């Protein structure tokens, strides 16, 4: 099990300028707009960038290492965009968000508005559902094996995946015309991918769910059912599962404030079979009281603001934030992390922030005798 106050990234890490464009609009576009390496050399470049991401984390002293998501143009589309029944090669503009999208989810909102070709709700280029969604084979198993071999037992490792609600709301449905049926098939496919990762030895899997805050199905309970379907059987195999909940990438949503829907969404996620919840905390300015919504779940606390203009935190500031969180969550259930969107930061800035996170966490560990 991870140690108390374990430190890990949400998932992504700073990407080298020679690998990919830092522009969110490019990430939502075609691969040739995003990747800066010639196709023939892209895999080699992604492998090298992954090695750098792993090395940076090991040098900084994190407890759980990710692959930095160096192979992913979009963190979630890497999964749902490659499932059977999905056409990613011919995207169409699609309004993200389900029945609750009118609640003004901040996720990608300004970027989507900039991309919109007409008035109305934000629309972004999205993969199309053109047939029954299913899992036809491993999507990130080789990525995990690469990570596991590079870490070589020096630290625990974690893989991140798309969550079912986010996948449901970011796919343009041209087949089902029934959100509930489509959601169940997505959950089944993601569950099979998670079990394939478990077969390969992965023991920590995080499902990223930025859309869970506002874009439910016909009822919150139905959304909860999709989460439970996605993680079914994993606990019995010794896999610890997390869900990441946030407001959107920091460089795309600069004016984050505490959203009143967030507490209710955390309360709902706390009712699921997920073992822990990764919460974006620093940039929106949450207070420790919000952590009460998660009950007895493990909490991964976003203690580092990833907005491009945010100052580099001091270890003392990080330690202070952690101490306040410990008034609500005991150290055995509290992990520390960054907010999401590290991959948009320059590497030197990202490294300085990660070092502050690690040292601030170590200060609190020493105070507690851990």
The predicted-structure confidence for 284-316, as pLDDT tens digits, reads as follows: 999 999 999 999 999 999 999 999 889 999 999
Cross-strand partners of 243:
207, 277
* Residue 221 in domain: yes
Q: Residue 337: CA atoms inside 13 Å, Cβ hemisphere, count?
A: 30
CB 128 within 8 A of CB 171: yes
Number of domains in the chain: 1
**Residue 184 placed within a domain:** yes
Q: From the CA atom positions of the chain, what is the Rg in Å?
A: 19
**Is residue 11 in a domain?**
no
Q: Are strands 84-94 and 124-134 parallel, antiparallel or unpaired?
A: antiparallel
- Indicate the pLDDT class of residue 262, thresholds 50, 70 and 90: confident
pLDDT band at 27 (very low <50, low <70, confident <90, very high): confident
- Residue 8 lies inside a defined structural domain of this protein: no
Q: Among residues of the chain, what percentage have pLDDT more than 90?
A: 74
In 10 A of CB 282, how many CB atoms? Answer: 24
Higher per-residue pLDDT: 241 or 340: 241
User: Which SS3 state, helix, strand or coil, does residue 115 take?
Assistant: helix
Q: Are 261 and 288 in contact (CB under 8 A)?
A: no
Identify the pLDDT of residue 114.
55
Q: Quote the domain boundaries for residue 292.
A: 24-368
Q: Tell me if 19 is assigned to some domain.
A: no
Q: Indicate whether 4 belongs to any domain.
A: no
Per-residue pLDDT band at 24 (split at 50, 70, 90): confident
Angle at 76 between CA 75 and CA 80, to 5 degrees: 140
pLDDT bracket for residue 104 (50, 70, 90): very low
**pLDDT at residue 159 in the model:** 98
The pLDDT score that the predictor gives to residue 261 is 80
Reported as a single tens digit per residue, the pLDDT across 139-166 is 999 999 999 999 999 999 999 999 999 9
Instruction: Give residue-wise pLDDT tens across range 162-215.
Output: 999 999 988 999 999 998 999 999 999 999 999 999 999 999 999 999 888 776
- The average pLDDT across 69-87 equals 94
Tell me how far apart the alpha carbons of residues 46 and 69 are, in angstroms, rounded to a whole number. 9
CATH of the domain at 359: 3.20.20.210
15, part of any domain: no
Is 322's pLDDT higher than 90? yes
Whether 107 shows a pLDDT value over 70: the answer reads no
Is pLDDT above 60 for 98?
A: no
pLDDT of residue 100: 44
In a domain, 94, yes or no: yes
SS3 state at 61: coil
Q: What is the pTM of this model?
A: 0.93
């Amino acid at each position: 099990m991870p140690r108390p106050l374990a430190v890990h990234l949400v998932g992504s890490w700073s990407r080298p300028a020679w690998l990919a464009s830092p522009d969110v609009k490019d990430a939502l576009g075609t691969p040739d707009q995003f990747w800066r390496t010639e196709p023939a050399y892209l895999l080699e470049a992604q492998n090298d960038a992954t090695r750098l991401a792993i090395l940076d984390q090991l040098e900084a002293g994190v407890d759980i290492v990710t692959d930095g998501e160096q192979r992913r143009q979009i963190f979630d589309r890497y999964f749902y965009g490659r499932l059977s029944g999905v056409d990613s090669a011919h995207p169409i503009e699609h309004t993200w968000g389900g029945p609750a999208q009118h609640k003004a989810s901040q996720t990608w909102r300004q970027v989507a508005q900039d991309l919109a070709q007409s008035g109305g709700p934000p629309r972004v280029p999205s993969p199309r559902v053109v047939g029954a969604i299913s899992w036809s084979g491993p999507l990130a198993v080789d990525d995990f094996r690469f990570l596991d071999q590079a870490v070589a037992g020096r630290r625990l490792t974690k893989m991140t995946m798309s969550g079912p609600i986010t996948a449901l709301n970011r796919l343009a449905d041209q087949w089902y015309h029934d959100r509930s049926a489509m959601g169940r098939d997505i959950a089944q496919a993601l569950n099979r991918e998670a079990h394939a990762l478990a077969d390969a030895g992965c023991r920590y899997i995080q499902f990223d769910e930025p859309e869970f805050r506002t874009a439910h199905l016909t009822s919150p309970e139905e959304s909860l059912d999709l989460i439970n379907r996605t993680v079914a059987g994993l606990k019995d195999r010794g896999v610890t599962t997390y869900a990441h909940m946030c407001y959107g990438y920091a460089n795309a949503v600069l004016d984050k404030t505490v959203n009143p829907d967030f507490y209710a969404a955390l309360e709902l996620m706390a009712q699921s079979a997920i073992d822990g919840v990764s919460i974006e905390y620093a940039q929106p300015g949450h207070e420790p009281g919000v952590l009460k919504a998660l009950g007895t779940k493990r909490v991964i606390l976003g203690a580092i603001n990833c907005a491009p203009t945010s100052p580099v935190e001091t270890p003392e500031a990080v330690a202070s934030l952690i101490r306040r969180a410990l008034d609500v969550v005991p150290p055995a259930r509290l992990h520390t992390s960054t907010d999401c969107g590290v991959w948009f930061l320059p590497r030197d800035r990202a490294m300085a922030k990660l070092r502050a996170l690690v040292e601030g966490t170590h200060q609190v560990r020493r105070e507690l005798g851990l």
